[in-house]
Amino acid sequence: MEIEYKRELTKSYMCVKTDQDFLPFEKEILTRSSISGIVPVNTTFADAATVCWYDITGMQAFDHALEMEMMNSQMLTQFLVSLCGTLERLESFLLDPRHLWFSRESIFKNNRDGSFWFCYCPEGKENITEGFQKLMEYLLTKIDHKDQRAVKMAYHIYDQVIKEGYSLIAIRESLTYDRVDIEPVPDRTLENSRVELEQTSDQTEKEKNVHKADKADGKAKVIFQKAIEHFFPDLAKIKEYRQELAKKKEKKNEIQPIVFEPEEEEVRMGRPTVLLADQKKTIQGILRYEGNNQLSDLKIDTFPYVIGSAADCPGYVDCATISRHHAKITKVENVYFIEDMNSANGTKAGGTLLDYKMKVSLQANEILEFADEKFRFI
């Protein structure tokens, strides 16, 4: 399959070229019905091949979205909610869930409500068990380790996925049927504090509290175990990973949950001043504002340098026509690149409208347009 992105004035598409086509009834349903959770798609023919045009306007690919923020428990839960709802709707339309495409570039996050949308493909993808497993392996690297609930959820799901005997039906029945009312991991610190304050409680009452906490903890585990139960019948166990997982759990008991490599190096060397010096930002470029409003210049001092109207963007622009995460600038050796992040109103470099995920090199004094705002790269 070949994938490319195309941009029109108000629309953005992911075009997938394949040698297979949808079945007649699938094409009828997908082109005439709007299925929430399924990226809208139309097909054309070119060079004896089918081209699927997925309308990704107002969405960001999963990998792009996770460049902006780590996956916390809220995002992971939203992902599972979206997946289960989509599976249920596919069944109501008699569409085969095995045609869902599980990859970081084919799952999209809606910029408006944070829901996730999936691509329905005409051809059978790689073994769906392998596809979902690879996706989970990728997500494990993007988990926010400050969020212990997210860590526990993600590792538990993957630990179940690598076992044999799981099905997509179990996900739908357990999570959708239970309305995905997943209880958070009990706060043992809070519980212990409460017990200490209630010193008049006898030993029996304390044991009851502990039992309730364990029961709540167990319920959360059961929900996720049911969610993955009977998922992927042909997947062999990965003993090496489980051994690695056990080591990670042992290590987690010895150190704090989140340890980035720079911090780890700092602890070993005992030289925090070196880290602070390394973190000092140097201006490596400027986007000089040349529009009609009173906006500030942007100083490029980090990479990737994201331009957008969201407060967390290094290149923050207070403008309603600019998307939250509009575009980004990267640097490879001494060459700068600009890339649109599927913004609503588009990005232009030297007058050329950029397709989504299309990287172009920047030239000195080149004019960049984010929506209707102009900047000069110097």
How many other C-beta atoms can be found within 10 angstroms of the C-beta atom of residue 315? 21
Low-confidence ranges of the chain (pLDDT < 50): 171-172, 174-202, 206, 210, 213, 216, 220-239, 241-242, 249, 252-278
- pLDDT value at residue 125: 59
pLDDT digits (tens, 9 = 90+) for 301-313: 999 999 999 999 9
- pLDDT value at residue 162: 79
309 membership: H or E segment, kind and range? none
Q: How far apart are CA 372 and CA 195, in angstroms?
A: 60
- pLDDT value at residue 256: 38
- pLDDT value at residue 148: 93
- pLDDT value at residue 126: 58
Contact 326, 308 (CB under 8 A): yes
Tokens 């509009």 belong to: 326
The token pair that represents 65 in the structure block: 């979205």
DSSP state of 175: I
DSSP 328-364: EEEEETTEEEEEE---SS-EEETTEEPPBT-EEE--T
Bridge-based pairing of strands 359-361 and 367-370 is unpaired
Q: Which residues pair with 339 in a beta bridge?
A: 328, 359
For the whole model, what pTM was predicted? 0.69
Reference 366, options 354, 210, 355; nearest CA is: 354
The token pair that represents 186 in the structure block: 């009990």
